[in-house]
Amino acid sequence: MRVIIIDDDFDAWRAAALDALAQQLTPESIDWRTAQAEPALFGEAASPAGAADAPHIRVSRELASLLKDAAHFRDPRRWSFLYRVLWRWAQGDRSVASPADEDGARLYKMAKAVRRAQHDMIAYVRFRQREASLGAPEYVAWYEPGHDVLAWAAEHFAARMGRSTWLIATPDAAAMFDGERLQLERRRALASDHAVDTPDAAEALWMTYYRSIFNPARLNESALEQHMPVRFWKGLPEGALIPQLVSDARGGARRVAQAQSVGALVGKPVQVEAQDAQPERDAPTSLDNCRRCDLWRNATQAVPGAGPSGARIMLLGEQPGDQEDLKGEPFVGPAGQLLHDAMQRAGMPREQVYLTNAVKHFKWEPRGKRRLHKTPAQQEVQACSYWLEQELHDVGARVIVTLGATALAALFGRRATLAAHIGRVVPYRDKLVVATYHPSYALRQNDEAARERTVAAIVEALERARELIGS
Ligand code: URA
Ligand code: SF4
């Protein structure tokens, strides 16, 4: 009997399986084991010696995708089963890829169950937003996938959640995203009796996670159990942590305790404290690299202003919305549509207008599957004025139309109210400012007459701007 120890994933199995095929090892002669299951007994996983010059065997595209999906089926015997399928195929037995075959049927069933688990995970993971003061990750989710689909789902979320930082914990692994890199930590097997005494990276990560959701002010055992099912919870070292967490909380030492467990992480870097994760705040080299405030984290990209550099009018909005964030251009969503209509009504020529926002990254909060606009804080507006200043300098527009309260405050400070400025022309440095409503204010008004009054006021402000540049 040949023992082959691999990392518990498809690529490791494939390399080792090709190697075994090349040596003509029959399925019955191999004992497949995974490094994660028996770290103490076997040490490092064997990297297949012949991987570089492993033979190629041609499998149909369908079989390749079945094998790949079935590899995530949670069953310790899967590697040996998959090898039997591959072996039979390599012997020329094509029936193994048919649902009419016993192995084939099992393969189809496994692949189907995995695809279903992937779909479920995407649909049912619920992120909870954590207190900002605790630092990253900003969102955490606990989920028990039906099969080993965390890595797959994590890629999905990494592509969709912008630069937010998050952690998805599952019973046997956790995925962390630090805004740029995805990292996966598997738990070592709990079975070995020294697991609790030798916290490894995964356990430290777990403790961090656990502390992050643990709110001693609302210590409620049944809530804890709901969040982390007892079946799993009992086997975890976190169980032992509860008394310590409670006393830490009394002593106000919770953050310290959390920092300690982060410090206990070994191996790959994981940044858990927001301050550490923040590169330089000043003098960013480009808008996309800007870290002057935290808004870059949750956004897809920065949205720069758009328009000719010789534009004589600048329209200043608040911040990109959902669609602007995805497209990277200002005013391309519903508010932008309304603004463009208003510009047309005012006869404002596009080529004389530069469109931009006071804040260049989209600020939002999750509401179900939607990203809900959140008004930027004055601190963020101030941080981002660095970029607005450059635009004011580079564009040299004579007239600025501020849309809404945030844009007005970006120029005159928070005390400048829209009510006091609306419809007036106010000098600003060597420029003139016309203040008006934000187009999304009009969109929010249900009463049609009121909405039309708001739109008319915006049109009037745009006409005023035209008069001021004498066009
Ligand atoms: N709202 C704004 O203020 N700016 C945009 O770019 C889009 C919507
Ligand atoms: Fe920089 Fe502005 Fe983005 Fe904040 S919102 S990170 S200041 S570009």
* pTM (whole model) above 0.75: no
Compute the average pLDDT of residues 122-127: 76
Compute the average pLDDT of residues 448-462: 97
Percent of the chain at pLDDT > 90 equals 47
Ligand 1 site, CB within 6 A: 317-321, 324, 330-331, 333, 335-336, 357, 440
User: Across the strands, what pairs with 343?
Assistant: none
Whether the per-residue pLDDT at 57 is higher than 90: the answer is no
What per-residue confidence (pLDDT) applies to 284? 65
More confidently predicted of 468 and 36: 468
Q: How far apart are CA 257 and CA 224, in angstroms?
A: 19
The average confidence (pLDDT) of the chain is: 78
Nearest CA to ligand 2 atom 2: 384
Q: How far apart are CA 127 and CA 123, in angstroms?
A: 11
Q: Domains along the chain?
A: 2-121 (no CATH), 125-193 (no CATH), 201-256 (no CATH), 290-468 (3.40.470.10)
User: Is there a contact between 441 and 419 (Cβ–Cβ < 8 Å)?
Assistant: no
Would the CB of 384 count as within 6 Å of ligand 2? yes
Q: What is the pLDDT of residues 159-174, one digit of tens each?
A: 887 888 888 877 777 8
What per-residue confidence (pLDDT) applies to 136? 63
Compute the average pLDDT of residues 299-310: 91
DSSP string, 236-254: STHHHHHHHHHHHHHTT-H
More confidently predicted of 184 and 290: 290
More confidently predicted of 399 and 8: 399
Would the CB of 141 count as within 6 Å of ligand 2? no
Ligand nearest to the CA of 162: 2
Whether the per-residue pLDDT at 68 is higher than 50: the answer is yes
Q: Which residues contact 33 (CB under 8 A, 6 or more apart)?
A: 3, 4, 5, 6, 42
CA angle, residues 106, 108, 109, in degrees to nearest 5: 65
Compute the average pLDDT of residues 168-187: 79
Lowest mean pLDDT among 191-200, 227-236, 406-415, 430-439: 191-200
What per-residue confidence (pLDDT) applies to 237? 42
291 alpha carbon – ligand 2 mean position (Å): 6
Whether the per-residue pLDDT at 264 is higher than 60: the answer is no
More confidently predicted of 200 and 297: 297
Compute the average pLDDT of residues 85-114: 95
- Peptide bond connecting 137 to the previous residue in cis, omega within 30 degrees of 0: yes
Ligand 2 mutation target, pool 280, 384, 390, 391, most atoms within 8 A of CB: 384
Would the CB of 293 count as within 6 Å of ligand 2? yes
Q: What is the largest CA-CA distance in the chain?
A: 90
Q: What is the pLDDT of residues 15-54, one digit of tens each?
A: 999 999 999 999 999 999 887 654 433 333 444 444 445 5
Compute the average pLDDT of residues 438-463: 97
More confidently predicted of 225 and 379: 379
Compute the average pLDDT of residues 445-450: 95
User: Is there a contact between 180 and 163 (Cβ–Cβ < 8 Å)?
Assistant: yes
319 alpha carbon – ligand 1 mean position (Å): 5
438 alpha carbon – ligand 1 mean position (Å): 9
